[in-house]
Amino acid sequence: MITRSKLVEQLRDYQVRSQHKCPPLAVFSPKPLLSTWSDVALAVSWTLLFIALLLSSYITLYLKRYFVSSIILCLGILLPIRLRILRQSLARKRDRRLMLPLSM
Average pLDDT over residues 30-50: 83
**Angle at 39 (CA atoms; ends 36, 41), nearest 5 degrees:** 110
| Domain residue extents for the chain | 4-98
Residues 42 and 51: their CA atoms lie apart, in Å, by 14
pLDDT at 25: 73
Tell whether pTM > 0.95. Answer: no
Over residues 78-97, the pLDDT tens digits come to: 998 998 888 888 878 877 77
Residues 32 and 17 sit within 8 Å (Cβ to Cβ): no
